[in-house]
Structure 1
Amino acid sequence: MRLVLEAEEAMLLSELADQVDSVLLLGEADDPALGRLLPNAYPDDATSSREFSRYTRDSLVDGKRQAAQRVRDATAVDDGGDAVVQIELDQSEAWGWLTFLTDLRLILAERVGIIEEGDDAASETRDDYLRAAYEWAGFVQGSMLEVLDPTDS
């Protein structure tokens, strides 16, 4: 799969990958965005929740951070002035990008107050930059999914 991005889009993805990594690495336990990335498996059972988190959290965070790092590596743009960045991804790498894009969209959705796709309740208080990034990441994600899993409709 070939992903073609404008240099500015590649730089944006790299910056957003840094931010996802920061949320995963430095996020406060009460950060709702972190809660969306690592939801409580047992909200009604504190003991089971702690045990589940103890055995799964580190590997989940590591996998999400690795996905963000792969995106950051692939979107590293030098100052050579190239207008377009072409990224070749095998199927496994593409699915890693989709993992990153899902994590990114969950964080952005939390930051702009989107509870469900198409939720207009957040429109009055949204941050236009974050909302645009959320929608653009969804476009990239949807485009990748169409290539990876085409359907005959």
Structure 2
Amino acid sequence: MIVAGREGGADGVRIVLETEEAMLLSELADQVDSVLLLGGEDDPALGRLFPSAYEDDETSATEFARYTRESLVDGKRQAAQSVRDATATNRGEGLVEIELDQAQAWGWLTFLTDLRLILAERVGVADPEEAQEADEERDDYLRAAYEWAGIVQGSMLEVLDPIGR
């Protein structure tokens, strides 16, 4: 995976992925979408994606969720769909090259954040700083995906926000 600024100095990023990496991102986007659509209220991953706005006031929290949840889910689903769309194009032998303008790149960052929150819950990472110390018996595939998504996310942020380095 290579993440760089877009050619010609345009705002945004250029991502070059191995075909397998593009397929993995597409599959992970499908899984995020499934969690958003099919996850039950008791799914702790949804608790990470949609934390209570009012921890000490259940009535206000429920009312807030009633007015905001649908649009938040729609935004997260659109972010996942943009990743699926981009990784599906130009998929052939070898490499997949994806050009994202700034708005698209920030959408990808939204998706990567959602993905990492879901994966963190699945592998038992309560705090990103504890990722290395989490239960070693958990699924290595999910842990690797969590760490890889963090690398992609960090690389994109370095390109999009060079001042923050």
TM-score w.r.t. the length of structure 1 is 0.94
Would you say the 8 A contact 1:112–1:125 is kept in 2? Answer: no
Task: Provide the rounded CA distance (Å) in 2 between the counterparts of 1:71 and 1:11.
Answer: 10
SS state at 1:86 partner: strand
Paired residue type of 2:14: R
- Calculate percent identity across the aligned residue pairs: 76
CA RMSD of aligned residues (A): 1.5
Q: Check if 1:23 corresponds to 2:23.
A: no
User: Which residue is 1:144 aligned to?
Assistant: 156
Q: 1:54 to 1:152 in 2, by over 3 A?
A: closer
Would you say the 8 A contact 1:14–1:72 is kept in 2? Answer: yes
Structure 1: runs of 5 or more not aligned: none
Shift of 1:44: 1.4
Q: 1:140 to 1:152 in 2, by over 3 A?
A: closer
Paired residue type of 1:108: L
Would you say the 8 A contact 1:13–1:72 is kept in 2? Answer: yes
Task: Provide the rounded CA distance (Å) in 1 between the counterparts of 2:160 and 2:98.
Answer: 15
Would you say the 8 A contact 1:11–1:77 is kept in 2? Answer: no
- Pick the aligned partner of 1:52 from 61, 64, 76: 64
Q: 1:44 to 1:127 in 2, by over 3 A?
A: same
User: Which residue is 1:98 aligned to?
Assistant: 109
Shift of 1:121: 4.2
TM-score w.r.t. the length of structure 2 is 0.88
User: Which residue is 2:119 aligned to?
Assistant: 108
Shift of 1:124: 2.5
Task: Provide the rounded CA distance (Å) in 2 between the counterparts of 1:53 and 1:104.
Answer: 21
Paired residue type of 2:113: T
Task: Provide the rounded CA distance (Å) in 1 between the counterparts of 2:21 and 2:162.
Answer: 24
Shift of 1:152: 7.2
Structure 2: runs of 5 or more not aligned: 1-12
Aligned residue pair count: 152
